[in-house]
Amino acid sequence: MARFVIGSSLKMYFGKAATERWTRDVAAICRVHEAVASGVVEPFVIPTFPSIPAVVDIAAPAGMTVGAQDVHWEPSGAFTGEVGAPELVEHGVRMVEIGHAERRAMFGETDETVARKVAASLDAGLAPVLCIGELVHGDPSSAAAACVQQLEASLRLARERGVGGRLVVAYEPVWAIGAPEPAGESHIRGVTSVLRDHLAGDALLPGAQVIYGGSAGPGLLPRIAPDVDGMFLGRFAHDPVAFGAILDEALAAA
């Protein structure tokens, strides 16, 4: 398992041509970067649904894992506009982003729907990139407690069904998403260290990883590396050069 998992959800920022161009540029960096070749970093990209096949063709040969931005909790059926986990697997998807704060705020996602999606993804062999984070800026201790509670609510069905596998927890304090700066170093480390300790030794989720997102970009990883397993990048990774810079930082921090 790589020391760091580093990647980006492209959300709906790019169309088809821009997504493929960005992926080609980042794949070219990953293909020759020592951090990827040595196994220090597992790079990933999460494009829109229509771009997944093209992105898999470009990214996978460069050692990049490809994810999806959402998934339905049923494997198939009369769910117009939805995509099931088994189909994502057929397309070469290996991760799926679940429970992002935007999905909760804009599309009514709840702890219950998130838990159903997590269980369905694990059951299909997909690794959930499970987004959790407190709504309001407070102290690290209360934030960590809120995040552990949210984490366990999201894992409830998987635990009840005895379904496990790979899990990546993306800690994204909601108040830091889209902000000019990420959360403070001590805040991030205070929360992620608690989450990592909480998941350590979990028999259903062996090797669960905790990454940080929320205005994450170059310069942050060296300050939080001891207490995180990677970073979930947003708009700061839209420049492929920035992605390469973060790979440099990961190699130095490993």
Rounded-to-integer distance, Cα 222 and Cα 219, Å: 7
Q: Is the Cβ–Cβ distance between 209 and 229 less than 8 Å? A: yes
- pTM score, whole prediction: 0.96
Q: Is the Cβ–Cβ distance between 49 and 78 less than 8 Å? A: no
Give the active site residue among 97, 100, 134, 187. 100
3-state secondary structure (DSSP) of residue 51: helix
- The CATH number assigned to the domain with range 4-253 reads 3.20.20.70
Is-catalytic flag, 172?
A: yes
Give the active site residue among 134, 172, 187, 249. 172
DSSP 8-state assignment for residue 239? S
Q: Is the dihedral of CA 121, 197, 39, 132 positive or negative?
A: positive
pLDDT tens, residue order, the chain (254 aa):
899 999 999 999 999 999 999 999 999 999 999 999 999 999 999 999 999 999 999 999 999 999 999 999 999 999 999 999 999 999 999 999 999 999 999 999 999 999 999 999 999 999 999 999 999 898 999 999 999 999 999 999 999 999 999 999 999 999 888 777 778 999 999 999 999 999 999 999 999 999 999 888 999 999 999 999 999 998 889 999 999 999 999 999 99
